[in-house]
């Protein structure tokens, strides 16, 4: 693998049940590329949490995954409502998810904390009323 591979996905905001398709596809591709299982788990869980967030809060968005032999970069961009208080959103257990989402087993306030926990770096660019872009990296050690 001499050059970076780039995978792009449109995350459908209308269809809650298809959320996770992009993460599962990324998981499959990383497995085909021969990355270790623990790294694949970290990347795919961080991406799944981000996907679910975009479906719950932002009516979908775009996901890009850049794969090099050294690092895997995940960029999730949406045009949703933005995050008013990032520090609060990062707190475990804090959630603004509606009841219908909670009844599906989401909305535990663990999404962003899980994304941070499973990645080596996470950057949140957000503006209320404009959208949010989250960039995460996982190093291939």
Partner 1 sequence: MTVSELALKMNLTPLSLPDGDREINGCYAGDLLSWVMGRARADNLWFTIMNNINVLAVASLADVAAVILAEGVMLGDKEIEAAKAKGINVLTSEKSTFTLCYEAGKLVL
Q: Which positions from 30 to 49 touch partner 1 by CB under 8 A, shown as an x/- string? A: -------x---x--xx--xx
> By the 8 A CB rule, do 121 and 138 touch?
no
Nearer Cβ to partner 1 (40/67):
40
Quick one: which of 9, 11, 12, 23 contacts partner 1 (CB under 8 A)? 23
CB atoms under 10 Å from CB of 121, counted, come to: 12
Using the rule CB under 8 A, is 60 a contact of partner 1? no
The radius of gyration computed from the CA coordinates of the chain, to the nearest angstrom, equals 14
Query: In the chain, where does DSSP find H-type helix?
Result: 21-32, 37-58, 86-89, 99-102, 111-118
- Cα of 15 vs its chain's centroid, Å: 17
Q: How far is the CB of 109 from partner 1 (least distance, A)?
A: 8
How far apart are CB 58 and partner 1 at their closest, in Å?
Answer: 17
C-alpha dist (Å) from residue 96 to 20, 57, 85: 20, 9, 12
Comparison of 13 and 113: residue with beta carbon closer to partner 1: 113
Chain residues that interact with partner 1, rule: CB under 8 A: 16-17, 19-20, 23-24, 27, 37, 41, 44-45, 48-49, 52, 104-106, 108-111, 113-114, 117-118
């Amino acid at each position: 693998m001499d050059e970076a591979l780039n995978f792009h996905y449109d995350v459908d905001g209308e269809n809650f049940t298809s959320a996770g398709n992009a993460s599962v596809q990324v998981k499959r591709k990383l497995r085909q590329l021969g990355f270790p299982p623990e790294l694949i788990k970290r990347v795919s869980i961080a991406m799944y949490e981000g996907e679910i967030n975009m479906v719950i809060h932002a009516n979908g968005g775009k996901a890009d995954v850049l794969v090099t032999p050294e690092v895997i970069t995940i960029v999730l961009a949406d045009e949703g409502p933005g995050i008013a208080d990032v520090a609060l959103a990062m707190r475990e257990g804090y959630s603004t998810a509606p009841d219908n989402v909670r009844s599906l087993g989401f909305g535990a306030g663990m999404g962003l904390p899980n994304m941070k926990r499973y990645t080596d770096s996470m950057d949140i660019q957000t503006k209320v009323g404009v959208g949010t872009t989250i960039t995460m990296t996982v190093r291939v050690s």
